[in-house]
Amino acid sequence: MDNHDGGTMISGEQNVRNASLLALRSALKLETHGLKRRGRSARQMANDITGKNDRTAVKAYASLNAHIVSILGPEFDRPL
């Protein structure tokens, strides 16, 4: 990750994937609070990544959070 003129640039394929997972978790948290988005929901995308078929955003958040912790470690645990 590099800082340039007050912004951050993520470099490296694995770092980009990790940042994408963290952004998806944030979007899913917003869905649990009722915020909607156009196109596919964050719940559907999280289900694709985790391989589960969670029917609520809260359950999908827990599954995605566990997936992130398994990849990045316990310091990235963010329970609802």
Q: What is the pLDDT of residues 19-67, one digit of tens each?
A: 999 999 999 999 999 998 889 999 999 999 999 999 999 999 999 999 9
- pLDDT bin (cut points 50, 70, 90) of residue 68 is very high
54 or 5: which carries more pLDDT confidence? Answer: 54
Reported pTM: 0.86
Could you tell me which of 66, 54, 55, 56 has the C-alpha nearest to residue 34?
56
3-class state of residue 2 by DSSP: strand
3-state helix, strand and coil shares in percent for the chain, rounded to the nearest 5: 60, 10, 30
80 is written with which tokens?
């609802």
Q: What is the mean pLDDT of residues 8-18?
A: 89
Per-residue pLDDT at 1? 65
The whole-angstrom separation of Cα 49 and Cα 64 is 8
